[in-house]
Structure 1
Amino acid sequence: MPAYLIYLCHDVTDRTELETYWRVTQPTFKGQQTHVHTAYTPVEILTGDATVHGVVIADYPSFEACRAWYDSPGYVSGRQHRIRGADYLGLLADGPTADAATAADESDSGLLLPDLDVDPGYVLWLGTTEPSDSQWPAKVSESIVAAGGVCLTATTHVDVLEGKRPVRSVVLARFATTAAARSWYAANQPVSADQDPLVLLVEGGWLPPEKRMPHLQARSSATSST
């Protein structure tokens, strides 16, 4: 069963540290079969009160495989740069769907990057409580499929790796376009009304480091101290 690694960037205090993190952790992906769905593409908050500058969503072959990578010496060392330079929420959620079909290519780096010829839209829904309805995952999945989307996960099996938000449930859905993703969520908000969710609309795709969060390019240790 695959697992989804989800990271939300709430703030950047030292851009140099963050860029160092992006650079030094690249070798840790070698051999990992990390399938990137989206990385630092445009994001919109549909519901909830939060600042989100960037989102990364990737899947791994299993929960255990992702935890082994996350706890590996190389990544543990490298992520200290991100921790010093930015504020992120990091999650690991299991999922029923192995969805490597949208991957464009796999290089020796171990990263499977998204196909840039397609422009899917993702709805990422993070609940702070577990749903009271035991049929909640099935109902959410059915509504996504009925709207022409793919339910990548609807789960309460969530580990908070980093950050303070108490996430207890996750929905991740992919649609052919961001318009279709928005339409599904507008019609299905009652499904999640009792869980005080943070809901994001995220464009599929991948941006190289130099194009990520350009409005935060000037952040450095010098500016963060003022």
Structure 2
Amino acid sequence: MPAYVIFIREKTTNIEELNVYASKAPSALQGHLLKPLVMYGMHEVIEGPEIEGAAVLEFPGIEEAKSWYYSPAYQDAVKHRMKGGTYRGIIVEGFAKEGSEI
């Protein structure tokens, strides 16, 4: 089943650290199967507190998502994201088949 990594940026606290993250994060994608679906584009909050943006990455499964997130290359980048803002991040499992009903 596909899995999705979702990052929600609640607040930027240090833009320089986010710039370091942005320079390091792309190299952490190498060797991992993923598809960026959403990358901090225009949004409208319909429930809950306001956010600055969100990103959604699709992976073949939860194990692949965790392998990417906990990889040394991404962990080297993510420390800068954590210093640069307040974020929430989750991994969520998708449906087994495309078009599955809720």
* TM-score, length of structure 1 as denominator length: 0.42
> C-alpha separation between the residues in 1 aligned to 2:97 and 2:60?
8
Larger C-alpha radius of gyration, 1 or 2? Answer: 1
**Residue-pair matches, total:** 101
Return the offset for 1:97. 5.1
Aligned identity (percent) is 27
In the superposition, relative to structure 1, how do residues 51 and 26 fare at CA in structure 2: closer, same or farther (>3 Å)?
same
> C-alpha deviations, 1:31-73, integer Å up to 9, x for none?
212111110111111122x121111011101100110111111
> C-alpha separation between the residues in 2 aligned to 1:97 and 1:52?
30
Unmatched tracts of structure 2, length 5 or more: none
Match for 1:66: what amino acid? A
Contact 1:2 1:98 in 2 (8 A): no
Q: Which has the higher contact order (CA 8 A, sep 6+)?
A: 2
Match for 2:51: what amino acid? V
> C-alpha separation between the residues in 1 aligned to 2:46 and 2:2?
26
Unmatched tracts of structure 1, length 5 or more: 100-137, 142-226
| Root-mean-square deviation (Å) | 1.8
Task: Tell me, yes or no, if structure 1 residue 60 matches structure 2 residue 59.
Answer: yes
Contact 1:2 1:62 in 2 (8 A): yes
Q: Which runs of 4+ in 1 moved over 4 A?
A: none
Partner of 2:9: 9
Decide which structure has greater strand share. Answer: 1
Contact 2:41 2:53 in 1 (8 A): yes
